[in-house]
Amino acid sequence: GELARAGARGMEDRDSEASGSRTFSSSVRMRSSSSSSTSASSSSDLRPWTCKLCGQTRNTEDKQNCKTCGRPRGHDPVKYRERLKEIRQYSVPEDGMDDRSSTGESWGLALGLLLLFLIAAMLAWAFHEDQKDLQPSDGMEL
């Protein structure tokens, strides 16, 4: 009982020192559905802890695993942060590199539109020539 709570509080202190910006809300408490005073008072004493991976804040001291992601309490997602850092590094455009790619893309768009216009003009010209051939040619033009 008390030894487990003391160990959990010690672990929570290490969690809060490591995370730095952790807030506890007194309104977030696990409420017991039973009417006995001992279980109600013990569940109201449980303080919430925040999972460092998913950010779930409704985990209580009596739970050793996160409700959302199932990671153990105090889990430090080092590899997850490294992967996020790597993804952000490659997704942020570097200076000058973005300008060249957008210029190349706009040239492709301009060339494609020009080609589309030429094809449409050739089809219109072919239709016009075809209509001229269908006109009766008895030598009398207006």
Domain range list for the chain: 2-91
Reported as a single tens digit per residue, the pLDDT across 58-107 is 888 898 999 888 888 888 888 888 998 999 998 876 655 555 566 667 88
Amino acid at 76: D
pLDDT at position 27 is: 38
Q: DSSP state, 94?
A: P
pLDDT at position 35 is: 42
- Comparing 135 with 39, which gets the higher pLDDT? 135
Alpha helices (runs of H) in 35-141, residue ranges in sequence order? 37-44, 78-91, 97-134
Q: DSSP state, 20?
A: S
Supply 29's token pair. 């408490």
Supply 18's token pair. 């490591």
Q: How far is CA 82 from CA 22, 70, 75, 78, 87, in A?
A: 21, 20, 15, 6, 9
